[in-house]
Structure 1
Amino acid sequence: MTGTLKDKTVLVVGRGGGIARAVTMAAREAGAQVIAAGRSQEKLAEAYADEPGVSTEYVDLTDEASIVALGERVGSIDHIVSTASARARGKLADLNRDSVRLSFDTKVIGPLMLAKHLAPRINEGGSITIFSGVAANKIAVGTLAVAITNGAADVLARSLALELAPIRVNAVSPGVIDTGAWDALGDEGKAKYFQDLTTRNPARRIGAADDIAEAVLYAMTSTFVTGTTLRVDGGEPLI
């Protein structure tokens, strides 16, 4: 059985581009009123200035008081999606304690606090979707902190699904998605990495933000799905 997003209120935490934007627009196209929230409300307002049905709010997932204040401003809602992340990449010897802490604070503790303070505001039939990532299932040198953060997010989704029932809670675990997250490799480095992965992964392509948005919509509207991690990774852990 599936539900509908028509006339529902969906809170999407994240940036104004990439996966967060794809989720926001997909939810809006499905009939929802969307609240896009993040640390730079000004940038979000610019990103969605010409998009009816999308409003913007400020929230900092590393600041519990900010989360409480957001809840007071938005009132009742139907679905929460947290796409926010702060990656701490590198080998063990190069990892910085502060960056690892920020990774957990943004992707695990932040969504935990969102659930604590906003779950009481979720209407009947609502849900929470948080983000994990392929690194939790494909262990590789150089992604230690990313892997343990994503693994913790997977456990968080299952734990919240049990404690907050009947509010449904799921995680979405993207593989390599063509967003600005890979721009640091440079044009040549990014193209080479994408080409290599395309020739090896079972899907034979790189993921798109819309692939992830579709999974998030599934998590929000599939009323018998809770406590699971939806892996949208092109089969990358198999290689």
Structure 2
Amino acid sequence: MTGSLQDRTVLVIGRGSGIARAVVLAARDAGARVVAAGRDAEALAAAYAGEPGITTETVDVTDDDTIAALGERLGRIDHVVSTASARARGRLQDLSRESVRASLDTKVIGPLMLAKHLGPRIDAGGSFVLFSGVAAFKIAVGTLAVAVTNGAADTLTRSLAVELAPVRVNAISPGVIDTGAWDALGDEGKAAMFAEQSERNPARRVGTADDIAGAVLFALTNTFLTGVTLAVDGGEALT
């Protein structure tokens, strides 16, 4: 197989479903050797069983020792994608210190430590891709901690792009994406929310995991792109 990531090693951190899985499969189909890593090694191994070109590893982005150990096991790599998150949704009066701390630790401090431990292992032409989110650009009641976390992820992206240069660092900022993240609303609630979202945003639809995976591949392979947050949100931030 030949492709835009031929013979590159891409580490994707996250679950074995949703956006993380779409990124893993897209990178593999572009020719990469993909390592899918996360806290639940058994679940990841089951999710990618029988998938050629994909191996699984264990890492917890809130635990520096596991990050350093993963680096030792992997050796040299080309690209790192971190999709890990711990959302702290809710109004101000409903937020706890623990949930806000977990959100920042997973999506901001975790990627910072990934850069510290794995940055020196990235070969020339390599990159990091982090994740932000539309809440950083479209302020709404009920997403205070999410907005703060995503805003910090954007700043981290720009800062790392300067500090790690010439290793590139970019972020993806998804809007509403049809993944299991919305299943808690129930079938009717999810359908109603998606319908309302599709009527309001300029793209007139809800995003898919493949939409995000395509943006990640662009960030991985465009060698003149760094320090940028790519909004893949159907124009949601404009409404």
Class of the TM-score when normalised by the shorter of the 2 chains: over 0.9
Aligned amino acid, residue 98 of structure 1 = E
Say if 2:180 is the partner of 1:180: yes
- Between the aligned partners of 1:131 and 1:65, the Cα distance in structure 2 is 22
Identity among equivalent positions (%) equals 73
> What is the CA deviation profile of residues 57-76 of structure 1, one whole-angstrom value per residue up to 9, with x for unaligned ones?
00001101110001001110
> What is the CA deviation profile of residues 127-166 of structure 1, one whole-angstrom value per residue up to 9, with x for unaligned ones?
0000000000000000000000000000000000000000
1:238 Cα deviation from its structure 2 partner: 1.1
Aligned amino acid, residue 37 of structure 1 = A
1:124 alignment counterpart: 124
1:4 Cα deviation from its structure 2 partner: 2.9
- Between the aligned partners of 2:203 and 2:126, the Cα distance in structure 1 is 32
- Between the aligned partners of 1:100 and 1:35, the Cα distance in structure 2 is 29
Structure 2: runs of 5 or more not aligned: none
1:41 alignment counterpart: 41
> What is the CA deviation profile of residues 82-119 of structure 1, one whole-angstrom value per residue up to 9, with x for unaligned ones?
00000000000110110100000000000000000000
Structure 1: runs of 5 or more not aligned: none
What is the 5 A alignment of 1:210-225?
210-225=210-225
TM-score, normalised on structure 1? 0.98
> What is the CA deviation profile of residues 209-235 of structure 1, one whole-angstrom value per residue up to 9, with x for unaligned ones?
000000000000000000000000000
Aligned length: 237
- Between the aligned partners of 1:123 and 1:163, the Cα distance in structure 2 is 16
- Between the aligned partners of 2:108 and 2:37, the Cα distance in structure 1 is 17
Aligned amino acid, residue 106 of structure 1 = T
1:92 alignment counterpart: 92
1:26 Cα deviation from its structure 2 partner: 0.2
3-state secondary structure, aligned to 1:191? helix
1:50 Cα deviation from its structure 2 partner: 1.4
TM-score, normalised on structure 2? 0.98
CA RMSD in angstroms comes to 0.7
- Between the aligned partners of 1:179 and 1:172, the Cα distance in structure 2 is 16
1:231 alignment counterpart: 231
Say if 2:93 is the partner of 1:115: no
Say if 2:13 is the partner of 1:18: no
- Between the aligned partners of 2:202 and 2:164, the Cα distance in structure 1 is 36
> What is the CA deviation profile of residues 183-225 of structure 1, one whole-angstrom value per residue up to 9, with x for unaligned ones?
0111110000000010110000000000000000000000000
Aligned amino acid, residue 178 of structure 1 = D
3-state secondary structure, aligned to 2:16? coil
- Between the aligned partners of 1:55 and 1:20, the Cα distance in structure 2 is 14
3-state secondary structure, aligned to 1:31? coil
1:141 alignment counterpart: 141
- Between the aligned partners of 2:168 and 2:197, the Cα distance in structure 1 is 33
- Between the aligned partners of 1:30 and 1:62, the Cα distance in structure 2 is 30
Aligned amino acid, residue 54 of structure 2 = V
- Between the aligned partners of 1:226 and 1:27, the Cα distance in structure 2 is 19
2:153 alignment counterpart: 153
Large movers: runs of 4+ above 4 Å: none
Say if 2:30 is the partner of 1:59: no
